[in-house]
Amino acid sequence: MRPSMLLLPALLASTPFASRTPYHGASDPVARPNGAVLAEAWFSNSAGLQKALEHAPVTIELKRGDSWETTGVGRTDGEGRVAAAFNAPPTPGRYPLRWTAEGQTAEATLHVLAGDVPLTIFDIDGTLTTSDSENFKDYARRLLRNPKADGPKLRQGAVAAVRRAAAQGPVVYLSGRAPWLGRPTREWLAFHQLPEGILILMPEARDILPTDGRVGRAKTERLQALKALGFSFRAAYGNARTDIHAYAALGIDKAKTFILGKHGGEEGTVKLGEAFPAE
C-alpha cells in the first residue's frame, strides 16, 4: 500500500461528492462452544471523514435457528465503537450477529468451532486482489456514489485457491481494511462466490498503515487471539512484508507461508508469482 494512497479518503471526503451512506462494520468473532465471546462493531455515517455515530444506544442480537435473541446492550463511544461480551452457544456452527443503533445495523457472523481445527489465512488486498490500489479505487467509487458491482479486481486463480482451502477447513480473511469497509467487503466476497469464512478487519482506522507497527501488529494480535483459543494454522497467504512478519510471529511454517507479488520468496517463504497455482 503506497503512503500517497492513504491521503485519498480524506481528500475525497472534503469534496461535495462525499457519500453519506452509513459504513457500519464488524469483524467476525470466533469462540469455542460455551466459550466467552467479545464482539465489536463500529458505527460510522461517512467513510472519508469518519463521522462516527457517537454515544448511541445499541442492541446486540444473535440468531439461533429462525429466532433472534438479545445478547446484550451497549453504547457507542466517541469513535462509534461498541463491544459486547456474552457466552457462545454450545453447538458448533455459524450464528448471524447484528448490532442495531438508531434503526441502523452492523452485521457479522459468530463462528463457534470445536476441536483442533486448522485454519487457513488469506490476506485480501494485493493477495486475493491484483493490488492494494484496487481497494482504494473501489473505495473512491463508493465515495463518489458510483461503485462497480464486481469491486476490486481478483487475482488470477484466487477463487479456486480459497475454495480448495475451504474444503480442508475454515478460512480466515485477515484484511488490512478499516472497520467501515466491513459491509462492502462482505458484499464483494459474496459477489465473487468466495467461500464463507471468518472476516477479520483492523480494529482502528490508523491500523491500516502499511507498517509492522500498525497493520502488522494488528494482524499479529488478531492471529494471537485465535491461537490462544487453541487453533492451529494450516497455511497462510499474503503479499506484503507485514504479512510475512505477522505469520512468522505466530510460528506459521515458512514452507506453508505463500507470498504473491514482489515479496514472494523473501525470508524463506514460498514464492507464488503473480497468480495462484492452478491446483
DSSP letters along 108-173, please?
Answer: EEEEE--SS--EEEE--TTTTBS-HHHHHHHHHHHHTT---TT-SPBPTTHHHHHHHHHTTS-EEE
Ordered by where they begin, the domains of the chain are 25-112 (2.60.40.10), 119-273 (3.40.50.1000)
In this prediction the pTM is 0.85
* Greater model confidence, 144 or 159: 159
Residue 191: helix, strand or coil by DSSP? Answer: helix
Q: What is the mean pLDDT of the chain?
A: 84
- pLDDT at res. 217: 87
How far apart CA 182 and CA 237 sit, in angstroms, is 20
Q: Which string of b and e fits 98-131 if b means at least 16 CB within 10 Å?
A: bbbbeeebbbbbbbbbeeebebbbbbbbbbbbbb
The set of cell numbers assigned to 211 is 507498517
Average pLDDT over residues 188-213: 80
- Taking a C-beta distance cutoff of 8 angstroms, is the pair 53, 69 a contact? no
Non-local (6+) Cβ contacts of 222 within 8 A are 27, 174, 200
Straight-line distance from the first to the last Cα atom of the chain, in angstroms, rounded to the nearest whole number:
28
* Greater model confidence, 134 or 200: 200
How far apart CA 84 and CA 167 sit, in angstroms, is 32
Non-local (6+) Cβ contacts of 127 within 8 A are 155, 158, 237, 238, 239, 243, 260
Burial class, 132, CB count within 10 angstroms (exposed 0-12 / middle 13-18 / buried 19+): buried
* Greater model confidence, 208 or 252: 252
The bridge status of strand 81-87 relative to strand 67-75 is unpaired
How far apart CA 85 and CA 73 sit, in angstroms, is 10
Average pLDDT over residues 235-261: 95
- pLDDT at res. 9: 43
Average pLDDT over residues 224-247: 95
Q: What is the identity of the amino acid at 39? A: A
How far apart CA 190 and CA 187 sit, in angstroms, is 5
pLDDT in tens, 108-121: 999 999 998 899 99
- pLDDT at res. 147: 62
Would you place residue 3 in the very low, low, confident or very high pLDDT band (cuts 50, 70, 90)?
Answer: very low
- pLDDT at res. 216: 78
Non-local (6+) Cβ contacts of 7 within 8 A are none
